[in-house]
Structure 1
Protein backbone atom coordinates (compact mmCIF):
# COMPACT_ATOMS: atom_id res chain seq x y z
CA UNK A 1 0.00 0.00 0.00
CA UNK A 2 1.23 3.51 -0.87
CA UNK A 3 0.88 6.07 1.93
CA UNK A 4 1.13 9.83 1.50
CA UNK A 5 1.78 12.43 4.20
CA UNK A 6 0.57 15.88 3.18
CA UNK A 7 0.03 19.39 4.49
CA UNK A 8 -0.17 22.91 3.11
CA UNK A 9 -0.42 26.47 4.38
CA UNK A 10 1.96 26.17 7.29
CA UNK A 11 2.96 29.85 6.91
CA UNK A 12 6.22 29.25 8.78
CA UNK A 13 7.87 32.28 10.32
CA UNK A 14 11.54 33.08 10.75
CA UNK A 15 13.15 31.19 13.61
CA UNK A 16 10.35 28.63 13.95
CA UNK A 17 12.32 25.71 12.47
CA UNK A 18 13.61 24.02 15.65
CA UNK A 19 10.21 24.25 17.34
CA UNK A 20 8.31 22.77 14.39
CA UNK A 21 10.81 20.12 13.35
CA UNK A 22 9.71 17.61 15.98
CA UNK A 23 6.14 17.66 14.64
CA UNK A 24 7.26 16.17 11.33
CA UNK A 25 10.12 13.82 12.18
CA UNK A 26 7.82 10.82 12.69
CA UNK A 27 6.42 11.12 9.14
CA UNK A 28 9.07 8.72 7.81
CA UNK A 29 7.57 6.00 10.02
CA UNK A 30 4.07 6.62 8.70
CA UNK A 31 4.36 7.43 5.01
CA UNK A 32 6.29 6.74 1.82
CA UNK A 33 6.54 10.42 0.85
CA UNK A 34 5.64 13.88 2.10
CA UNK A 35 3.73 16.39 -0.06
CA UNK A 36 3.78 20.12 0.75
CA UNK A 37 0.95 22.05 -0.90
CA UNK A 38 2.38 25.56 -0.86
CA UNK A 39 2.32 28.62 1.39
CA UNK A 40 5.24 27.17 3.28
CA UNK A 41 6.34 30.67 4.38
CA UNK A 42 4.36 33.52 5.89
CA UNK A 43 5.47 36.09 3.34
CA UNK A 44 8.13 34.68 1.06
CA UNK A 45 11.06 36.09 3.05
CA UNK A 46 14.37 34.23 2.94
CA UNK A 47 14.62 33.93 6.72
CA UNK A 48 11.24 32.21 6.66
CA UNK A 49 12.39 29.92 3.85
CA UNK A 50 15.45 29.02 5.94
CA UNK A 51 13.09 27.92 8.71
CA UNK A 52 11.18 25.74 6.23
CA UNK A 53 14.47 24.11 5.27
CA UNK A 54 15.18 23.43 8.94
CA UNK A 55 11.79 21.75 9.31
CA UNK A 56 11.80 19.56 6.20
CA UNK A 57 15.42 19.22 5.16
CA UNK A 58 16.89 15.80 5.82
CA UNK A 59 13.67 14.02 6.72
CA UNK A 60 14.06 10.30 6.07
CA UNK A 61 11.55 10.19 3.20
CA UNK A 62 11.12 12.03 -0.12
CA UNK A 63 9.67 15.52 0.39
CA UNK A 64 7.96 17.10 -2.63
CA UNK A 65 6.58 20.64 -2.66
CA UNK A 66 4.94 23.34 -4.70
CA UNK A 67 5.10 26.99 -3.74
CA UNK A 68 2.05 29.09 -2.93
CA UNK A 69 1.03 32.70 -3.31
CA UNK A 70 2.57 33.61 0.07
CA UNK A 71 5.87 32.13 -1.06
CA UNK A 72 5.77 34.43 -4.10
CA UNK A 73 4.90 37.59 -2.14
CA UNK A 74 8.44 38.91 -1.68
CA UNK A 75 9.54 38.08 -5.23
CA UNK A 76 12.13 35.58 -3.96
CA UNK A 77 10.46 32.41 -5.24
CA UNK A 78 13.45 31.36 -7.37
CA UNK A 79 15.80 31.69 -4.41
CA UNK A 80 13.35 29.87 -2.13
CA UNK A 81 13.21 27.04 -4.65
CA UNK A 82 17.02 26.85 -4.67
CA UNK A 83 17.17 26.83 -0.88
CA UNK A 84 14.62 24.05 -0.60
CA UNK A 85 16.37 22.03 -3.30
CA UNK A 86 19.69 22.29 -1.46
CA UNK A 87 17.92 21.06 1.67
CA UNK A 88 16.71 17.98 -0.22
CA UNK A 89 13.15 19.09 -0.98
CA UNK A 90 11.97 18.57 -4.57
CA UNK A 91 10.07 21.66 -5.74
CA UNK A 92 7.74 21.17 -8.69
CA UNK A 93 6.54 23.93 -11.00
CA UNK A 94 4.93 22.39 -14.06
CA UNK A 95 7.23 19.41 -13.59
CA UNK A 96 7.23 15.85 -12.25
CA UNK A 97 9.13 13.49 -10.00
CA UNK A 98 8.94 9.71 -9.72
CA UNK A 99 9.23 8.06 -6.31
CA UNK A 100 9.85 4.29 -6.02
CA UNK A 101 7.70 2.79 -3.29
CA UNK A 102 7.50 -0.85 -2.17
CA UNK A 103 8.00 -2.33 -5.62
CA UNK A 104 5.86 0.23 -7.46
CA UNK A 105 6.36 3.75 -8.82
CA UNK A 106 4.48 6.90 -7.85
CA UNK A 107 4.61 9.87 -10.18
CA UNK A 108 3.81 13.33 -8.85
CA UNK A 109 2.93 16.16 -11.23
CA UNK A 110 3.08 19.51 -9.48
CA UNK A 111 2.31 23.14 -10.19
CA UNK A 112 1.28 26.12 -8.09
CA UNK A 113 -1.78 26.66 -10.23
CA UNK A 114 -3.71 29.90 -10.14
CA UNK A 115 -7.08 31.51 -9.63
CA UNK A 116 -9.90 32.16 -12.09
CA UNK A 117 -13.01 30.50 -10.73
CA UNK A 118 -15.11 27.59 -11.83
CA UNK A 119 -17.36 26.61 -14.70
CA UNK A 120 -20.02 29.25 -15.54
CA UNK A 121 -18.55 31.54 -12.86
CA UNK A 122 -15.00 32.03 -14.06
CA UNK A 123 -12.76 34.73 -15.45
CA UNK A 124 -12.65 34.85 -19.24
CA UNK A 125 -9.99 36.18 -21.56
CA UNK A 126 -12.13 39.12 -22.70
CA UNK A 127 -12.26 42.85 -22.15
CA UNK A 128 -9.50 44.86 -20.53
CA UNK A 129 -5.92 43.76 -20.90
CA UNK A 130 -5.70 43.25 -17.15
CA UNK A 131 -8.61 40.80 -17.18
CA UNK A 132 -7.22 38.98 -20.20
CA UNK A 133 -3.85 38.65 -18.46
CA UNK A 134 -5.47 37.31 -15.28
CA UNK A 135 -7.56 34.73 -17.15
CA UNK A 136 -4.74 33.68 -19.47
CA UNK A 137 -2.34 33.15 -16.60
CA UNK A 138 -4.78 30.71 -15.01
CA UNK A 139 -5.16 28.86 -18.29
CA UNK A 140 -1.39 28.70 -18.80
CA UNK A 141 -0.81 27.32 -15.29
CA UNK A 142 -3.30 24.56 -16.02
CA UNK A 143 -1.62 23.82 -19.33
CA UNK A 144 1.72 23.30 -17.61
CA UNK A 145 0.05 20.84 -15.25
CA UNK A 146 -1.59 19.01 -18.16
CA UNK A 147 1.77 18.72 -19.94
CA UNK A 148 3.49 17.47 -16.78
CA UNK A 149 0.86 14.77 -16.28
CA UNK A 150 1.35 13.59 -19.85
CA UNK A 151 5.03 12.95 -19.09
CA UNK A 152 4.35 10.46 -16.31
CA UNK A 153 4.72 6.75 -17.01
CA UNK A 154 4.17 5.35 -13.53
CA UNK A 155 1.74 2.97 -11.89
CA UNK A 156 0.38 5.70 -9.62
CA UNK A 157 -0.21 9.35 -10.53
CA UNK A 158 -0.71 12.13 -8.00
CA UNK A 159 -1.30 15.83 -8.66
CA UNK A 160 0.03 18.45 -6.25
CA UNK A 161 -1.11 22.08 -6.48
CA UNK A 162 -1.59 25.04 -4.19
CA UNK A 163 -4.76 26.42 -5.76
CA UNK A 164 -7.89 24.27 -5.73
CA UNK A 165 -8.91 22.32 -8.85
CA UNK A 166 -12.55 21.96 -7.75
CA UNK A 167 -15.11 24.01 -5.79
CA UNK A 168 -16.05 21.02 -3.57
CA UNK A 169 -13.16 21.61 -1.19
CA UNK A 170 -13.91 25.35 -0.95
CA UNK A 171 -17.22 24.77 0.81
CA UNK A 172 -17.09 26.98 3.91
CA UNK A 173 -15.20 29.81 2.24
CA UNK A 174 -17.10 33.00 1.28
CA UNK A 175 -18.53 32.56 -2.22
CA UNK A 176 -16.98 35.88 -3.21
CA UNK A 177 -13.52 34.32 -2.74
CA UNK A 178 -14.07 31.23 -4.89
CA UNK A 179 -12.66 32.87 -8.05
CA UNK A 180 -9.42 33.62 -6.17
CA UNK A 181 -9.00 30.20 -4.56
CA UNK A 182 -8.82 27.96 -7.60
CA UNK A 183 -9.75 27.24 -11.18
CA UNK A 184 -11.80 24.72 -13.12
CA UNK A 185 -8.93 24.65 -15.64
CA UNK A 186 -6.85 22.73 -13.07
CA UNK A 187 -9.61 20.15 -12.66
CA UNK A 188 -9.89 19.80 -16.43
CA UNK A 189 -6.12 19.25 -16.66
CA UNK A 190 -6.36 16.46 -14.08
CA UNK A 191 -9.24 14.82 -15.92
CA UNK A 192 -7.37 15.08 -19.24
CA UNK A 193 -4.87 12.42 -18.20
CA UNK A 194 -5.13 9.30 -20.36
CA UNK A 195 -4.49 7.25 -17.22
CA UNK A 196 -6.46 7.79 -14.01
CA UNK A 197 -4.97 10.13 -11.44
CA UNK A 198 -5.20 8.43 -8.04
CA UNK A 199 -5.28 11.61 -5.93
CA UNK A 200 -5.12 15.39 -6.25
CA UNK A 201 -3.81 17.37 -3.27
CA UNK A 202 -4.06 21.14 -2.75
CA UNK A 203 -4.10 23.81 -0.06
CA UNK A 204 -4.91 27.56 -0.03
CA UNK A 205 -8.52 27.28 1.24
CA UNK A 206 -8.19 27.59 5.03
CA UNK A 207 -11.94 27.52 5.66
CA UNK A 208 -12.86 24.92 3.07
CA UNK A 209 -13.38 21.21 3.59
CA UNK A 210 -11.11 18.26 3.08
CA UNK A 211 -12.81 16.01 0.54
CA UNK A 212 -13.92 16.52 -3.03
CA UNK A 213 -13.85 15.08 -6.55
CA UNK A 214 -13.07 16.41 -10.01
CA UNK A 215 -15.88 16.15 -12.59
CA UNK A 216 -14.10 13.04 -13.90
CA UNK A 217 -14.10 11.38 -10.48
CA UNK A 218 -10.54 11.95 -9.25
CA UNK A 219 -10.43 12.18 -5.44
CA UNK A 220 -9.29 15.61 -4.22
CA UNK A 221 -8.02 16.46 -0.75
CA UNK A 222 -7.59 19.96 0.68
CA UNK A 223 -4.67 19.59 3.09
CA UNK A 224 -4.45 23.19 4.30
CA UNK A 225 -3.32 22.91 7.92
CA UNK A 226 -6.46 24.55 9.38
CA UNK A 227 -8.63 22.10 7.43
CA UNK A 228 -6.91 18.85 8.36
CA UNK A 229 -6.47 20.06 11.97
CA UNK A 230 -3.19 18.17 12.39
CA UNK A 231 0.50 18.73 11.65
CA UNK A 232 -0.09 16.60 8.56
CA UNK A 233 -2.56 14.08 7.18
CA UNK A 234 -1.61 10.55 6.10
CA UNK A 235 -3.57 8.95 3.27
CA UNK A 236 -3.47 5.37 2.06
CA UNK A 237 -4.08 4.96 -1.65
CA UNK A 238 -6.42 2.18 -2.78
CA UNK A 239 -5.02 -1.21 -3.78
CA UNK A 240 -6.14 -0.54 -7.37
CA UNK A 241 -4.78 2.66 -8.98
CA UNK A 242 -8.17 3.10 -10.66
CA UNK A 243 -10.00 3.01 -7.31
CA UNK A 244 -11.31 6.02 -5.42
CA UNK A 245 -11.25 4.85 -1.82
CA UNK A 246 -8.67 7.12 -0.20
CA UNK A 247 -8.35 6.27 3.49
CA UNK A 248 -7.07 8.85 5.95
CA UNK A 249 -4.89 7.10 8.52
CA UNK A 250 -3.89 10.18 10.53
Structure 2
Protein backbone atom coordinates (compact mmCIF):
# COMPACT_ATOMS: atom_id res chain seq x y z
CA UNK A 1 0.00 0.00 0.00
CA UNK A 2 1.33 3.42 -0.99
CA UNK A 3 1.34 6.21 1.65
CA UNK A 4 -1.22 8.13 -0.42
CA UNK A 5 -3.72 5.25 -0.58
CA UNK A 6 -6.83 5.65 1.54
CA UNK A 7 -6.99 3.53 4.66
CA UNK A 8 -10.38 2.21 5.75
CA UNK A 9 -10.91 2.50 9.49
CA UNK A 10 -13.71 0.72 11.34
CA UNK A 11 -14.53 2.58 14.56
CA UNK A 12 -16.80 1.61 17.44
CA UNK A 13 -17.18 2.83 21.00
CA UNK A 14 -18.92 1.62 24.14
CA UNK A 15 -18.63 -2.14 23.82
CA UNK A 16 -19.46 -2.61 27.54
CA UNK A 17 -18.38 -6.25 27.73
CA UNK A 18 -19.80 -8.01 30.81
CA UNK A 19 -18.90 -11.21 32.64
CA UNK A 20 -21.98 -12.89 31.16
CA UNK A 21 -20.89 -12.31 27.55
CA UNK A 22 -19.60 -15.19 25.44
CA UNK A 23 -17.51 -14.15 22.42
CA UNK A 24 -19.61 -10.95 22.16
CA UNK A 25 -17.73 -9.32 19.29
CA UNK A 26 -15.96 -12.21 17.59
CA UNK A 27 -18.25 -12.36 14.58
CA UNK A 28 -18.27 -8.58 14.21
CA UNK A 29 -14.47 -8.40 14.37
CA UNK A 30 -14.29 -11.07 11.66
CA UNK A 31 -16.71 -9.06 9.52
CA UNK A 32 -14.72 -5.88 10.08
CA UNK A 33 -11.49 -7.67 9.17
CA UNK A 34 -12.95 -8.27 5.71
CA UNK A 35 -13.95 -4.64 5.03
CA UNK A 36 -11.42 -2.47 6.90
CA UNK A 37 -7.67 -2.03 7.31
CA UNK A 38 -7.69 -0.96 10.97
CA UNK A 39 -10.14 -1.44 13.86
CA UNK A 40 -10.42 1.44 16.37
CA UNK A 41 -12.12 0.99 19.75
CA UNK A 42 -13.24 4.22 21.46
CA UNK A 43 -13.44 3.33 25.12
CA UNK A 44 -15.85 1.75 27.60
CA UNK A 45 -14.55 -1.56 26.35
CA UNK A 46 -15.67 -3.24 29.58
CA UNK A 47 -18.70 -2.53 31.74
CA UNK A 48 -16.95 -2.25 35.11
CA UNK A 49 -13.24 -2.55 34.35
CA UNK A 50 -13.11 -6.09 35.74
CA UNK A 51 -10.29 -8.46 34.88
CA UNK A 52 -12.75 -11.09 33.68
CA UNK A 53 -14.48 -8.62 31.35
CA UNK A 54 -11.17 -7.57 29.81
CA UNK A 55 -10.19 -11.21 29.30
CA UNK A 56 -13.44 -11.93 27.43
CA UNK A 57 -12.81 -9.02 25.06
CA UNK A 58 -9.16 -10.00 24.70
CA UNK A 59 -10.15 -13.40 23.33
CA UNK A 60 -12.20 -11.68 20.60
CA UNK A 61 -9.39 -9.22 19.82
CA UNK A 62 -7.02 -12.15 19.25
CA UNK A 63 -9.24 -13.29 16.36
CA UNK A 64 -9.00 -9.97 14.49
CA UNK A 65 -7.07 -10.23 11.24
CA UNK A 66 -6.31 -6.47 11.17
CA UNK A 67 -4.55 -4.16 13.65
CA UNK A 68 -6.68 -3.17 16.66
CA UNK A 69 -6.01 0.13 18.42
CA UNK A 70 -8.00 2.22 20.86
CA UNK A 71 -8.39 3.98 24.19
CA UNK A 72 -9.97 3.18 27.52
CA UNK A 73 -13.17 4.83 28.75
CA UNK A 74 -14.52 5.83 32.14
CA UNK A 75 -16.17 2.42 32.66
CA UNK A 76 -12.78 0.77 32.26
CA UNK A 77 -11.65 2.70 35.37
CA UNK A 78 -14.55 1.65 37.62
CA UNK A 79 -12.67 -1.13 39.44
CA UNK A 80 -9.62 1.07 39.92
CA UNK A 81 -7.33 -1.06 37.75
CA UNK A 82 -7.17 0.54 34.28
CA UNK A 83 -3.55 -0.58 33.94
CA UNK A 84 -4.63 -4.20 34.36
CA UNK A 85 -7.34 -3.81 31.72
CA UNK A 86 -4.85 -2.16 29.35
CA UNK A 87 -2.25 -4.88 29.93
CA UNK A 88 -4.73 -7.66 29.20
CA UNK A 89 -5.82 -6.02 25.96
CA UNK A 90 -2.23 -5.25 24.98
CA UNK A 91 -1.25 -8.89 25.52
CA UNK A 92 -4.06 -9.83 23.11
CA UNK A 93 -2.50 -7.64 20.39
CA UNK A 94 -4.36 -4.35 20.84
CA UNK A 95 -2.44 -1.07 20.93
CA UNK A 96 -3.87 0.96 23.80
CA UNK A 97 -3.17 4.60 23.01
CA UNK A 98 -2.37 7.05 25.79
CA UNK A 99 1.18 8.34 26.02
CA UNK A 100 2.23 7.15 22.56
CA UNK A 101 1.10 7.38 18.93
CA UNK A 102 1.32 4.78 16.19
CA UNK A 103 1.52 4.76 12.38
CA UNK A 104 -0.29 2.15 10.30
CA UNK A 105 -0.13 2.11 6.50
CA UNK A 106 0.83 5.77 6.31
CA UNK A 107 -1.85 6.99 8.72
CA UNK A 108 -1.04 8.21 12.22
CA UNK A 109 -3.17 7.37 15.24
CA UNK A 110 -2.98 9.26 18.53
CA UNK A 111 -5.47 9.08 21.34
CA UNK A 112 -6.39 9.43 25.00
CA UNK A 113 -9.43 8.73 27.12
CA UNK A 114 -10.10 12.45 27.49
CA UNK A 115 -12.09 13.93 30.33
CA UNK A 116 -15.09 16.07 31.13
CA UNK A 117 -15.17 19.81 31.72
CA UNK A 118 -17.65 21.37 29.33
CA UNK A 119 -17.75 23.69 26.36
CA UNK A 120 -17.92 27.42 25.70
CA UNK A 121 -19.40 29.44 28.54
CA UNK A 122 -20.11 26.21 30.38
CA UNK A 123 -16.45 25.19 30.51
CA UNK A 124 -15.21 24.75 34.06
CA UNK A 125 -12.39 27.17 34.97
CA UNK A 126 -9.52 26.44 37.39
CA UNK A 127 -10.74 28.87 40.05
CA UNK A 128 -11.58 28.50 43.70
CA UNK A 129 -11.25 25.32 45.72
CA UNK A 130 -8.23 23.07 45.20
CA UNK A 131 -10.48 20.17 44.19
CA UNK A 132 -11.89 22.26 41.30
CA UNK A 133 -8.37 23.13 40.17
CA UNK A 134 -7.39 19.46 40.33
CA UNK A 135 -10.46 18.55 38.27
CA UNK A 136 -9.56 21.06 35.56
CA UNK A 137 -5.92 19.98 35.67
CA UNK A 138 -7.02 16.43 34.80
CA UNK A 139 -8.82 17.76 31.72
CA UNK A 140 -5.77 19.82 30.78
CA UNK A 141 -3.49 16.82 31.28
CA UNK A 142 -5.54 14.66 28.92
CA UNK A 143 -5.45 17.43 26.31
CA UNK A 144 -1.68 17.75 26.77
CA UNK A 145 -1.18 14.03 26.28
CA UNK A 146 -3.25 14.14 23.10
CA UNK A 147 -1.32 17.14 21.81
CA UNK A 148 2.00 15.46 22.57
CA UNK A 149 0.93 12.29 20.78
CA UNK A 150 -0.21 14.19 17.71
CA UNK A 151 3.03 16.19 17.70
CA UNK A 152 5.14 13.05 17.47
CA UNK A 153 3.44 11.94 14.26
CA UNK A 154 5.24 12.62 10.99
CA UNK A 155 2.41 11.44 8.75
CA UNK A 156 0.39 13.65 6.41
CA UNK A 157 -2.83 12.04 7.67
CA UNK A 158 -3.84 11.13 11.18
CA UNK A 159 -6.88 10.15 13.21
CA UNK A 160 -7.46 11.35 16.79
CA UNK A 161 -9.04 8.67 18.99
CA UNK A 162 -10.99 9.61 22.14
CA UNK A 163 -13.65 8.38 24.51
CA UNK A 164 -14.97 11.73 25.70
CA UNK A 165 -16.16 14.20 23.08
CA UNK A 166 -14.08 17.24 22.05
CA UNK A 167 -17.15 19.18 20.82
CA UNK A 168 -20.73 19.80 21.92
CA UNK A 169 -22.22 19.18 18.47
CA UNK A 170 -21.95 15.38 18.63
CA UNK A 171 -23.62 15.41 22.06
CA UNK A 172 -26.90 16.76 20.72
CA UNK A 173 -29.64 14.36 21.71
CA UNK A 174 -28.28 14.04 25.24
CA UNK A 175 -29.80 16.24 27.99
CA UNK A 176 -28.18 19.66 27.79
CA UNK A 177 -27.60 19.58 31.54
CA UNK A 178 -25.05 16.75 31.21
CA UNK A 179 -23.02 18.07 28.26
CA UNK A 180 -20.27 19.19 30.64
CA UNK A 181 -19.92 15.59 31.86
CA UNK A 182 -19.59 14.15 28.36
CA UNK A 183 -16.51 15.94 27.09
CA UNK A 184 -14.17 18.89 27.05
CA UNK A 185 -13.45 21.63 24.52
CA UNK A 186 -9.82 21.48 25.64
CA UNK A 187 -9.46 18.30 23.57
CA UNK A 188 -10.57 20.15 20.44
CA UNK A 189 -8.09 22.93 21.19
CA UNK A 190 -5.29 20.35 21.06
CA UNK A 191 -6.60 18.74 17.87
CA UNK A 192 -7.00 22.02 16.00
CA UNK A 193 -3.28 22.76 16.34
CA UNK A 194 -2.41 20.12 13.72
CA UNK A 195 -3.06 20.21 9.99
CA UNK A 196 -2.46 16.47 9.64
CA UNK A 197 -5.52 15.50 11.71
CA UNK A 198 -8.15 14.51 9.16
CA UNK A 199 -10.83 13.17 11.52
CA UNK A 200 -11.68 12.50 15.17
CA UNK A 201 -13.64 9.59 16.64
CA UNK A 202 -15.11 9.32 20.13
CA UNK A 203 -17.78 7.44 22.06
CA UNK A 204 -19.43 7.95 25.47
CA UNK A 205 -22.53 9.86 24.30
CA UNK A 206 -24.98 6.98 23.75
CA UNK A 207 -27.81 9.29 22.68
CA UNK A 208 -25.72 11.86 20.83
CA UNK A 209 -25.33 12.81 17.18
CA UNK A 210 -23.09 11.00 14.71
CA UNK A 211 -21.23 13.88 13.06
CA UNK A 212 -19.92 17.35 13.87
CA UNK A 213 -16.73 19.35 13.46
CA UNK A 214 -14.16 21.33 15.40
CA UNK A 215 -13.74 25.09 15.10
CA UNK A 216 -11.20 24.51 12.32
CA UNK A 217 -13.59 22.22 10.49
CA UNK A 218 -12.03 18.86 11.30
CA UNK A 219 -14.76 16.17 11.14
CA UNK A 220 -15.71 14.58 14.46
CA UNK A 221 -17.66 11.32 14.60
CA UNK A 222 -19.50 9.94 17.62
CA UNK A 223 -19.04 6.21 17.10
CA UNK A 224 -20.79 5.01 20.26
CA UNK A 225 -22.33 1.81 18.92
CA UNK A 226 -25.84 2.93 19.87
CA UNK A 227 -25.49 6.06 17.71
CA UNK A 228 -23.79 4.27 14.82
CA UNK A 229 -26.35 1.47 14.74
CA UNK A 230 -29.13 4.00 14.28
CA UNK A 231 -27.13 5.75 11.55
CA UNK A 232 -25.95 2.72 9.54
CA UNK A 233 -27.92 -0.29 10.86
CA UNK A 234 -24.64 -1.79 12.08
CA UNK A 235 -22.68 -1.09 15.28
CA UNK A 236 -19.52 0.31 13.69
CA UNK A 237 -18.64 3.20 11.38
CA UNK A 238 -16.38 2.95 8.35
CA UNK A 239 -14.15 5.96 7.61
CA UNK A 240 -11.65 6.49 4.82
CA UNK A 241 -8.56 8.36 5.97
Q: TM tier, shorter chain?
A: over 0.9
> TM-score of the superposition, structure 2-length normalised?
0.93
1:226 aligns with 2:230: no
CA contact (8 A) 1:98 1:106 kept: yes
Q: In 1, Cα distance between the equivalents of 2:7 and 2:63?
A: 21
SS at match of 1:109: strand
Q: Which residue of 1 aligns with 2:76?
A: 71
The 8 Å contact of residues 226 and 235 in structure 2, kept in 1 or not, is answered as no
Residue aligning to 2:240 = 236
Q: Distance in 2 between matches of 1:116 and 1:163?
A: 10
Q: Between Structure 1 and Structure 2, how many residues are aligned?
A: 232
Q: What CA distance in whole angstroms lies between the structure 1 residues aligned with 2:76 and 2:24?
A: 20
> Match of 1:146, SS?
helix
Match of 2:56 in 1: 51
The Cα of 1:19 is off from its aligned counterpart by: 4.0
* Counterpart in the other structure of 1:171: 172
Distance 2:218 2:169 in 1: 12
Gaps of 5+ in 1: 238-250
- How far did 1:15 drift? 4.2
RMSD of aligned C-alpha atoms?
Answer: 1.1
Alignment of 1:38-187 (within 5 A): 38-100=43-105, 105-187=106-188
- Alpha-carbon distance between aligned partners in 2 of 1:59 and 1:19, rounded to the nearest angstrom: 13
Gaps of 5+ in 2: 1-5
| 4+ aligned runs moved over 4 Å, structure 1 | none
Residues 116 and 19 of structure 1, relative CA distance in 2, 3 Å threshold: closer
Q: Distance in 1 between matches of 2:104 and 2:227?
A: 27
The answer (yes or no) to whether the contact 1:15–1:47 under 8 Å persists in 2 is: no
- 1:152-182 CA-partner distances (Å, limit 9, x unpaired): 0012111001000000100001111111100
Q: Quote the Cα distance in structure 1 between the aligned partners of 2:137 and 2:235.
A: 35
